[in-house]
Amino acid sequence: MDTQQGDVPVTSATAPAPRAVPSSIPLPALQPMLAGMDPDASVKLRAKDLSIRYGTRVAVRDVTLDVSEHSVMAFIGPSGCGKSTVLRCFDRMNDLIPGAVVQGTVELDGESMYGPGVLPVEVRRKVGLVFQRPNPFPMSIYENVAYGPRRFGQKDRGKLDETVERSLRHAALWDEVKDELRKKSGLALSGGQQQRLCIARALATDPEVILMDEPCSALDPIATLKIEELIAQLKADYTIVIVTHNMQQAARVSDRTAFFTLGEDRAGYLVELDDTLKIFTNPTNQLTEDYVSGRFG
Amino acid sequence: MTAPTRTLRVAKPGFRARLDPARRITQAAAALVIAIVALILAFIAWRGIQLFIDAGVAVPEILSPTWQPDPDSGPTTFGLLPFIVGTLEIFVGAALIAAPLSVGLGLFMAEVAPNWARRITQPAMEVFVGIPSVVWGFLGAVLLVPVLRTNFHFTYGYSMLAGQLVVALMILPTITSLSYDAFLTVPRDMRAASMALGTTRWQAIRHVVVPAAASGVMTAIVMGMMRAAGEALAVQMVIGNRASIAFNPMSPIQTLTSAITMDMGNTTPSQPWNMALWTMGLVLLLMSLSFVLLVRRLSARRPAE
Amino acid sequence: MRRVLLADRLATATLWALALFVVAILVSIIAYFVVSSIPTFSLAFLFSDPVDSGIGGILPLLWNSAYMLVLTMLLTIPIAVLGGIYMAEYAGENRFTNAIRFSQELISSVPSIVVGLFGMTLFVAGLGWGFTALGGALTLLVFNLPLLLRLSEQAIRAVPADERAASLALGSTQWQTIRHAVLPIAIPGIVTGIVLTAGRVFGEAAALLFTAGVATPAHYDFTFVSLDPRSPWSPFHQATTLSVFIWNTNSEANNPQHTEVAAMSSMVLLFLVLAFNLSSRWLGGALQRRVSGL
pLDDT mean across residues, chain A: 84
| Residue B83 pLDDT grade (very low, low, confident, very high; cuts 50, 70, 90) | very high
C200 or B144, greater pLDDT: B144
Least Cα separation, residue A146 to chain C (angstroms): 17
Of A44-48, B82-86, B153-157, give the lowest mean pLDDT range. Answer: B153-157
Indicate whether C34 and C102 sit together in one domain. no
pLDDT of residue A3: 41
* Gap between the terminal Cα atoms of chain B: 42
A97 φ/ψ angles, rounded to the nearest 5 degrees: -95, 120
Chain C hits for B39, Cβ within 8 Å: 118, 122
pLDDT of residue B17: 59
| Residue C212 pLDDT grade (very low, low, confident, very high; cuts 50, 70, 90) | confident
The amino acid that residue C285 corresponds to is G
| Candidate ranges A40-54, C123-137, C187-201; pick with highest mean pLDDT | C123-137
Residues A200-221 pLDDT 10s: 999 999 999 999 999 998 889 8
**C105, C114, C247, C276: best mutation site toward chain B, by most B Cβ within 10 Å?**
C114
List chains adjacent to chain A, taking adjacency as at least 3 C-beta pairs closer than 8 Å: B, C
pLDDT mean across residues, chain C: 87
pLDDT of residue C239: 87
User: Mean pLDDT, to the nearest integer, of A234-246?
Assistant: 92
Q: Give domain status of residue A132, yes or no.
A: yes
CA distance C211 to C132: 7
Q: Closest residue of C to A122, CA-based?
A: C1
Q: Closest residue of C to A120, CA-based?
A: C5
DSSP-assigned beta bridge partners for residue A52:
A60, A102
Residues A116-144 pLDDT 10s: 888 888 899 999 999 999 999 999 999 99
User: Mean pLDDT, to the nearest integer, of C122-133?
Assistant: 88
Query: Does residue C181 contact residue C171 with C-beta atoms inside 8 Å?
Result: no
CA distance C46 to C77: 29
Of B290-304, C113-127, C241-255, give the lowest mean pLDDT range. Answer: B290-304
DSSP-assigned beta bridge partners for residue A76:
A259
Of the candidates C12, C107, C114, the beta carbon closest to that of B112 is on C12
Chain C hits for A124, Cβ within 8 Å: none
Which of these, B172, B214, B181, B208, lies nearest to B192 by C-alpha position? B208
| Candidate ranges C47-56, C179-188, C254-263; pick with highest mean pLDDT | C179-188
Which of these, B74, B78, B87, B83, lies nearest to B51 by C-alpha position? B78
Report CB contact under 8 Å: B194, A96. Answer: no
CA distance B87 to B28: 37
| % chain A with pLDDT above 70 | 85
CA distance A173 to A141: 10
pLDDT at A36 over 70: no
Q: Give domain status of residue A13, yes or no.
A: no
CA distance B64 to B243: 12
| % chain C with pLDDT above 70 | 98
pLDDT of residue B301: 64
pLDDT at A182 over 70: yes
pLDDT at A263 over 60: yes
CA distance C294 to C162: 17
pLDDT at A8 over 70: no
| % chain A with pLDDT above 90 | 55
Q: Using alpha carbons only, what angle is made at residue C86 by residues C84 and C87, rounded to the nearest 5 degrees?
A: 65
Residues C95-127 pLDDT 10s: 888 999 999 989 888 999 999 999 998 898 888
pLDDT of residue A295: 66
Least Cα separation, residue A202 to chain B (angstroms): 6
Q: Which long-range contacts (CB under 8 A, 24 or more apart) does C37-46 make?
A: C37/C260, C37/C263, C37/C264, C37/C267, C40/C257, C40/C260, C40/C264, C41/C264, C41/C267, C45/C264, C45/C268, C46/C268
pLDDT at B108 over 90: yes
Count of structural domains, chain C:
2
Report CB contact under 8 Å: C5, A119. Answer: yes
Query: Cβ atoms within 10 A of the Cβ of C262, count?
Result: 25
CA distance C201 to C72: 8
pLDDT at B69 over 70: yes
User: Mean pLDDT, to the nearest integer, of A155-179?
Assistant: 92
User: Mean pLDDT, to the nearest integer, of B203-221?
Assistant: 93
Report CB contact under 8 Å: C251, B237. Answer: yes
Report CB contact under 8 Å: B192, A187. Answer: no
Of A36-40, A284-288, C23-27, give the lowest mean pLDDT range. Answer: A36-40
- What contacts A129, CB < 8 A, 6 or more positions away? A88, A91, A93, A202, A210, A211, A212, A213, B193, B196
Please count the CA atoms within 13 angstroms of the CA of B215 that sit on its side-chain side.
14
User: Strand B67-68 to strand A268-275: parallel, antiparallel, or no bridges (unpaired)?
Assistant: unpaired
Q: What is the DSSP string of A41-91?
A: SPEEEEEEEEEEEETTEEEEEEEEEEEETT-EEEEE-STTSSHHHHHHHTT
| Residue A296 pLDDT grade (very low, low, confident, very high; cuts 50, 70, 90) | low
CA distance C14 to B105: 10
User: Mean pLDDT, to the nearest integer, of B210-225?
Assistant: 93
Domain locations along chain B: 77-300
Residues B231-246 pLDDT 10s: 999 999 998 888 888 8
pLDDT of residue C257: 80
B142 touches chain C (CB under 8 A): yes
Q: What is the DSSP string of C197-237?
A: HHHHHHH--TTTTTTT--PPP----TT--SSSTTSTTSTTS
Q: Considering the domain B77-300 in this protein, what is its CATH number?
A: 1.10.3720.10
Q: Give domain status of residue A2, yes or no.
A: no
Quote the DSSP letter at residue A162: H
Report the 3 state secondary structure along chain B. Answer: CCCHHHHHHHHCCCHHHHHCHHHHHHHHHHHHHHHHHHHHHHHHHHHHCHHHHCCCCCHHHHHCCCEECCHHHCCCEECCHHHHHHHHHHHHHHHHHHHHHHHHHHHHHHHHCCHHHHHHHHHHHHHHHHCCHHHHHHHHHHHHHHHHHHCCCCCCCCCHHHHHHHHHHHHHHHHHHHHHHHHHCCCHHHHHHHHHCCCCHHHHHHHHHHHHHHHHHHHHHHHHHHHHHHCCHHHHCCCECCCCCCCCCCCCECCHHHHHHHHHHHCCCCCHHHHHHHHHHHHHHHHHHHHHHHHHHHHHCCCCC
Burial class for B117, CB neighbours closer than 10 Å (0-12, 13-18, 19+): middle
Element housing C17 (H / E): helix C2-37
Indicate whether C50 and C29 sit together in one domain. no
User: Mean pLDDT, to the nearest integer, of B114-127?
Assistant: 89
User: Mean pLDDT, to the nearest integer, of A64-83?
Assistant: 91
Report CB contact under 8 Å: A138, B192. Answer: no
Count of structural domains, chain A:
1
Indicate whether C75 and C147 sit together in one domain. yes
User: C93 in helix, strand or coil?
Assistant: coil
* B227, B267, C117, C244, C259 from C208: Cα distances, Å: 18, 17, 9, 7, 22
CA distance C100 to B21: 20
User: Mean pLDDT, to the nearest integer, of B281-296?
Assistant: 92
| % chain B with pLDDT above 90 | 52
| Residue B81 pLDDT grade (very low, low, confident, very high; cuts 50, 70, 90) | very high
pLDDT of residue C293: 60
Residues B135-162 pLDDT 10s: 999 999 989 998 998 888 788 888 999 9
- What contacts A42, CB < 8 A, 6 or more positions away? A68, A69
Q: Which domain holds residue A79?
A: 28-292
pLDDT of residue B18: 60
User: A268 in helix, strand or coil?
Assistant: strand
Gyration radius from chain A CA atoms: 19
Quote the DSSP letter at residue A116: T
pLDDT of residue C253: 66
- What contacts C22, CB < 8 A, 6 or more positions away? B101, B105, B121, B124, B128, B172, B176
| Residue C91 pLDDT grade (very low, low, confident, very high; cuts 50, 70, 90) | confident
Please count the CA atoms within 13 angstroms of the CA of C235 that sit on its side-chain side.
13
Tell how far CA B300 is from the center of its chain. 19
Indicate whether C256 and C192 sit together in one domain. yes
Domain CATH number, residue A72:
3.40.50.300
Query: Cβ atoms within 10 A of the Cβ of C158, count?
Result: 12
pLDDT at A11 over 60: no
Q: Which domain holds residue C258?
A: 44-293
Of B4-13, B173-182, C280-289, give the lowest mean pLDDT range. Answer: B4-13
Report CB contact under 8 Å: C4, A151. Answer: yes
CA distance B148 to A213: 59
pLDDT of residue C14: 95
User: Mean pLDDT, to the nearest integer, of A35-64?
Assistant: 81
Element housing A259 (H / E): strand A256-262
Report CB contact under 8 Å: B197, A205. Answer: yes
Residues B17-59 pLDDT 10s: 566 788 888 889 999 999 999 999 999 999 999 889 888 888 8
Q: Give domain status of residue A18, yes or no.
A: no
